[in-house]
Each structure stands twice: as C-alpha cells, then as structure tokens.
Amino acid sequence: MFETLHKATLDKIFVLMAEYAADPRSEKIDLGVGVYKDETGNTPIMSAVRKAEARIHENARTKTYVGVSGNRGFCNAIVDLVLADSVDRSRVRTAQGPGGTGALWILIQLLNRAKPGARVMISDPSWPNHWPMMELAGLTPEHYPYFDPKTRAVDFDAMLATLDTLGPDDIVLLHACCHNPTGANLTEAQWDQVAASLARTGAFPLLDLAYLGFGDGLEADAYAARKLASSVPEMMIAFSGSKNFGLYRERAGCAIAIARDEAGADIVGSQMSNVIRASFSQPPDHGAEIIRVILEDPALRAEWEAELAQMRERMKRLRVKLAEAIRKQSNATDYDFIAEHSGMFSLLGLERDVVERLKTEDGVYMINDSRINVAGIPEDRVDALASHLLAATRQ
Ligand code: LMR
C-alpha cells in the first residue's frame, strides 16, 4: 500500500520549533512559531481562561455530544465580537471548527463544493499553510501582489490592480488584520477600496481572522470584516481563538458564512454541517466553551479584554524597542518598519543564508523567509538581538 508514497515535508514553522527545542544553548532566542510569550518566555494561560475553566469544571454535568455545528453560544458570541451590527443576522450561519485552521478547512471544502477547482487568490507572501490547504481542498491557489520588499509595506496599487481584474468565479483570501507573515497591513481607507473593488467585480472574499485584538484593538481589528460584510452580498470568515484567548492546543475556531438572504444562508449552514459530519463528525468543545463563558460574562470579558490589551501593548513596545536599538547601533532607519508594522509578525527581508547564520551562529531563530514573532523579542536582551541582526546582515 505505502510503496507509492514519498516522505512528506513538515511545515517549516514546525520544523523550526523542533530545532529550537533541541538547541541546548541557554542564550537562544525564539522568534519562530506564532505563539504569544510573556517576559519570561512562557506562553501563559490567561487569567480569564483559568477562571472560566474552573467554572466549567464546577458546573459540568455531562460529556455527551454537543452537536455537529458545535457550541452555539460560542459561535453567536464570535459573530457579535467580529461583525457587531454590520450585517443582518438572518444571512449569517456559523459552525465551530477545530481551531482557525479547522474553520478555514470547513469553509474551503464548502467553496469547492460550490465551485469545484475555483481559483483562490492568496497574498504574496502568506501563511505557509494557505496554499497547501487550498490544493488539498481541490481549489486552485494563485498569488496576488501584496508586500513590497523594498519599502516593507503593502504594495497597495499592485494589489488593487490585480483585485480589479477578478470576477465572480474567483475567491480572494484576505488577512483581516495582523498580516501573517509580513506585519504590513491595509489602512481603513485601503480596506474601503478593497470592499468597493469586490462589490464591483463580484469576487468572493474569504477572510482569515486569526489575530483579532493583536493589532490595534478589538474594534479596529474588526474593521475589515465589518466593512466587507456591509459591502458585499456573500463572504466567509475563519476566526481563530488560539492567539487572542491563548487557547492554542484547545483548537477553538469559528467558521462564519454570510449569504445573500436567509434561504441561501440555510443552505450554506446545512452544507457546513454536512462537511463537518463527513470530516470529523463534531468539533471539540472545551476551548469553545471557555470562550463562550468569558464572552457572555461581563466581568470575565472585561478581564480578558484587559489581558489582551496588555499583550498587544507589550508586542508594540517590543517593536519600538528593537527598532530603536537597531537605529542607535547602526545610525540608520532601515529597520524602523518593525515599529510601524502591527500584529505578531514582521518580515525582515533578510536573505536565507543570513537567517541560517543567525540560527547556527547566534541561536536566533526565525522562519526562513525572515519572519519574526515580535512577542519572542527578549526585552532584557534587545541590544544583543539588534547587534546580532546587524552583524549578520553585514557579513
Ligand atoms: C504561525 O503562523 O506561526 C502560527 O499560525 C502557527 C501555525 O499554525 O502555523
């Protein structure tokens, strides 16, 4: 049976994670996988999460099935959080997915049923899992221009020019905030232009919303989702609770579909349930239930929002510190973009051999495309990191 198979490659993000774990050097610095870290390098359990878990533990009476589309209270709370009043709820249907990736998987399975083999436009570059996921689902990925390596900002003219050429048979995957891997994001005015372009061409928006609250705040980060929801007749959103609730291993995600009308929404909802039943039958409940408890309880929600704000502010502070340290040491503004980017990542624009050298010689780990996770910047060793980066690029 297995003779026809070749050894498959693991995603580079997880390869790097394993290399970092195996590195015995105590001074090593992990700027790799996208998980939040505090000043001790730990990925903490948020205090609102601990309290919600204790409450769940106290009140739980059963472990019986929840249902194919998952925890309804969780899904409804996520729609409130993401879309607020931007769309008539009779057009919205949701299903819980195992993580944001699971939610995305449900949505793209459904899209491939609606338009088998359809073209999906993906930003260049994008999260490395987007392309293989589309291929595995049967869709046809292609790139649209996004990042300008010279300015380290979005090449918006090129992006929009490509979006303007699309039509109703095309799907466009957009990072709703905190672009992964670049950290370069659209302004609200640019999102307005994207929304107008999609409304004009009829191309179908699929939003990946994995970092809500990590950029400029919960409201600001929801701008794109809400703007598009109020501008186009149909769209989808894959929401992840992994980062903003720190629930990585619990796999809590939400698939949101907006249809033209209620009858269309019912069909889409039934298709999502059908995909889930045939894929994994039902999603896991624990992470979703934690989020539901937090979002439905005003005190826990306020506590979560405050913790999330602290995490966001810390990442912003680390960005500024690293950019300043590099400016001080080099007398040049080449890396100021790190402070201008937002979210968890910045793409530094280093050559592969520089990235490799930083890893082997200095123990500084980043993804081989030179993406750094800013939460991994060690606050007490920012100067050392800056000098490693400058020395490696000078060689
Ligand atoms: C990342 O981009 O590092 C995270 O989203 C983790 C992952 O699943 O790739």
The per-residue pLDDT for range 10-64, each reduced to its tens digit, is: 889 999 999 999 999 999 999 999 999 999 999 999 999 999 999 999 999 999 9
Which residue's CA is minimally distant from atom 6 of ligand 1?
A: 34
Residue with CA nearest ligand 1 atom 2? 34
* Residue 214 sits in the same domain as residue 290: yes
Both 203 and 107 in a single domain? yes
Ligand 1 centre to CA of 89 (Å) is 31
Total count of domains within the chain: 2
SS3 13: helix
Mean pLDDT of the region 67-91:
98
Q: Is there a catalytic annotation at residue 243? A: yes
Residue-wise pLDDT for 120-173, tens only, equals 999 999 999 999 999 999 999 999 999 999 999 999 999 999 999 999 999 999
Q: How many angstroms does the Cα of residue 374 sit away from the middle of ligand 1? A: 13
Residue 302 within any structural domain of the chain: no
Ligand 1 centroid, distance to 128 Cα (angstroms): 8
Query: Does residue 180 line the site of ligand 1, with CB under 6 A?
Result: yes
Instruction: For ligand 1, say whether the CB of 33 is within 6 Å of any of its atoms.
Output: yes
Contact call for residues 345 and 338 (beta carbons, < 8 A): no
> Is there a domain that residue 83 lies in?
yes
Output the CA–CA distances (angstroms, integers) from residue 318 to 40, 208, 269, 276, 308, in the order listed. 14, 25, 42, 40, 15
Average pLDDT over the chain reads 97
Helix locations, the chain, DSSP H: 12-22, 47-59, 72-83, 99-114, 130-137, 156-164, 188-201, 218-221, 223-229, 262-279, 286-296, 298-330, 337-340, 352-362, 382-394
Query: Rounded distance, CA 75 to CA 90, Å?
Result: 14
Domain presence at residue 55: no
Structure tokens at 66: 């929840």
Q: Give the pLDDT score at 10.
A: 87
54 in any annotated domain: no
Catalytic residue among 208, 221, 285, 362: 208
Nearest to 274 by CA among 15, 33, 95: 95
- Does 369 score more than 80 pLDDT? yes
Asked if 127 and 20 sit in the same domain, the reply is: no
How large is the average pLDDT for residues 222-249?
Answer: 98
Q: State whether 222 and 167 are in the same domain.
A: yes
Distance 299 CA to ligand 1 centre (A): 30
CATH of the domain at 361: 3.90.1150.10
pLDDT(394) > 90:
no
- Residues 190 and 323 both lie in one domain: no
Active-site residue, selected from the candidate residues 37, 227, 243, 321: 243
37 and 123 in a single domain? The answer is: no
| Same domain as 259, residue 137 | yes
328 and 289 in a single domain? The answer is no
30 phi, psi to nearest 5 deg: -100, 105
Residue 395 pLDDT > 90: no
| Residue 336 belongs to domain spanning | 9-44+309-394
Output the residue whose Cα is nearest ligand 1's atom 3: 34
Whether the upstream peptide bond of residue 284 has omega within 30° of 0, thus cis, is: no
Q: Is the pLDDT of residue 219 over 90?
A: yes
CATH number at residue 196: 3.40.640.10
Largest CA distance in the chain: 63
Instruction: Establish whether residue 32 lines the binding site of ligand 1, counting it when its CB lies within 6 angstroms of any ligand atom.
Output: no
What span, in angstroms and rounded, lies between the C-alpha atoms of 195 and 33? 31
Domain identity same for 284 and 368: no
Q: Is any atom of ligand 1 closer than 6 Å to the C-beta of 127? A: yes
98 CB burial (10 A radius; 0-12, 13-18, 19+): buried
Backbone φ and ψ for 115, nearest 5 degrees, come out as -140, 85
Phi-psi region of 84 (alpha: psi -120 to 50; beta: other; left: phi over 0): left
Cα 383 to the center of its chain, rounded Å: 29
Amino acid in the structure at residue 259: A
Known catalytic residue at 11 = no
Q: Are residues 105 and 156 in the same domain?
A: yes
The pLDDT value recorded for residue 306 is 98
Strand pairing of 345-347 and 371-373? Answer: antiparallel
Q: Is the CB of 162 under 6 A from ligand 1?
A: no
Atom 4 (ligand 1): residue with closest C-alpha? Answer: 34
Q: Is 208 considered catalytic here? A: yes
> How many angstroms separate the alpha carbon of residue 210 from the centre of ligand 1?
9
- Is the shortest distance between the CB of 17 and ligand 1 below 6 Å? no
Clarify whether residues 326 and 361 are in a common domain. Answer: yes
Q: Is the peptide bond before 125 cis (omega within 30 degrees of 0)?
A: yes
Does 35 lie in the same domain as 143?
A: no
Q: Dump pLDDT digits (tens) for 266-311.
A: 999 999 999 999 999 999 999 999 999 999 999 999 999 999 999 9
Give catalytic status of residue 210 as yes or no: yes
Residue 301 lies in a domain: no
